[in-house]
């Protein structure tokens, strides 16, 4: 628990008059933050309708993923969800195109893509809605 002490505006101002000497009075507020580690999550996914998660929802899925040079994910699509991938750092190839730091790629439902890290790469991924079992490998479709 973190306790923050700050001057109370309610105490230092009464009926429109400011009393500076009262601003030295402090009130205590409690702020409780839950802290997690990305290492506790599976493949970087930390928000969604799965376990483990820090926020359970089927509205969206969110991940921060780290790939080593040469890591590869087979071509797949989502029939319902839209997936948005941000290349935070590094360089990757998706569907034959090379993307670098700062690229934002929106993959629409039904669109297939693979992923190959051309160097150590970090991505932020948002998938919406957060539909479980909505991943279809291209070679199986």
CATH value at residue 59: 2.60.120.10
Which range of residues forms the domain containing residue 95? 38-135
d(CA 89, CA 45): 18
**pLDDT surpasses 60 at 28:** no
pLDDT digits (tens, 9 = 90+) for 64-101: 999 999 999 999 999 999 999 999 999 999 999 999 99
Rounded CA-CA distance 18/120 in Å is: 57
CB–CB of 123/84 below 8 Å?
no
pLDDT of residue 17: 62
Identify the pLDDT of residue 31. 72
Domain count, the chain: 2
pLDDT in tens, 32-67: 889 999 999 999 999 999 999 999 999 999 999 999
Residue 89 lies in a domain: yes
How many residues are present in the chain?
A: 141
69 and 125 in a single domain? The answer is yes
Closest among 120, 124, 77 to 104, alpha carbons compared: 124
Same domain, 86 and 110: yes
- Cα 105 from Cα 48, distance rounded (Å): 20
């Amino acid at each position: 628990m973190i306790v923050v002490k700050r001057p109370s505006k309610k105490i230092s101002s009464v009926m429109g008059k400011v009393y500076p000497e009262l601003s030295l009075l402090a009130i205590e507020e409690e702020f409780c933050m839950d802290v997690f580690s990305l290492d506790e999550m599976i493949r970087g996914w930390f928000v969604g309708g799965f376990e483990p998660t820090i926020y359970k929802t089927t509205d969206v899925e969110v991940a921060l993923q780290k790939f080593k040079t040469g890591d590869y994910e087979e071509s797949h699509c989502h029939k319902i969800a839209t997936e948005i991938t941000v290349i935070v750092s590094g360089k990757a190839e998706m569907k034959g195109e090379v993307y670098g730091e700062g690229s934002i790629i929106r993959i629409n439902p039904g669109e297939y893509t693979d992923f190959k890290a051309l160097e150590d790469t970090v991505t932020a991924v948002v998938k919406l809605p957060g539909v479980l079992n909505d991943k279809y490998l291209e070679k199986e479709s």
